Amino acid sequence: MRDDGRAPDEPATETAGTAGTAETGEIAGTAEFAEFAFELDGTSECIGRARHLAAGFLARIQADHGLRVSRRATDLTQLVVSELVTNALKYAPGPVLVDLRIVDGTVEVAVWDSGAVLPQARAADTGRVGQHGLEIVLAVAQRFEVRHENVGKSVTVSIALHDDR
pLDDT at 94 over 60: yes
pLDDT at 160 over 80: yes
Closest CA to 85 of 54, 113, 65: 113
> Residue 76: which CATH number?
3.30.565.10
Q: How many domains does the chain have?
A: 1
For residue 113, what is the enclosing H or E element?
A: strand 106-113
**Domain encompassing residue 44:** 31-160
Out of 11-15, 130-134, 154-158, the most confident range is: 154-158
Query: Which residue type, as a one-letter code, is found at position 53?
Result: L
pLDDT, mean of residues 59-64: 92
How far is the C-alpha of 164 from the C-alpha of 100, rounded, in Å?
23
Instruction: Kindly report whether the global pTM for this prediction surpasses the value 0.75.
Output: yes
Query: pLDDT of 95-124, one tens digit each?
Result: 999 999 999 999 999 999 999 998 887 777
- HSE-CB for 132 with a 13 A CA cutoff: 11
| 18 inside domain | no
For residue 83, what is the enclosing H or E element?
A: helix 71-91
Closest CA to 100 of 13, 21, 23: 23
| 62 inside domain | yes
Q: In the predicted model, what is the mean pLDDT of the chain? A: 81
| 131 inside domain | yes
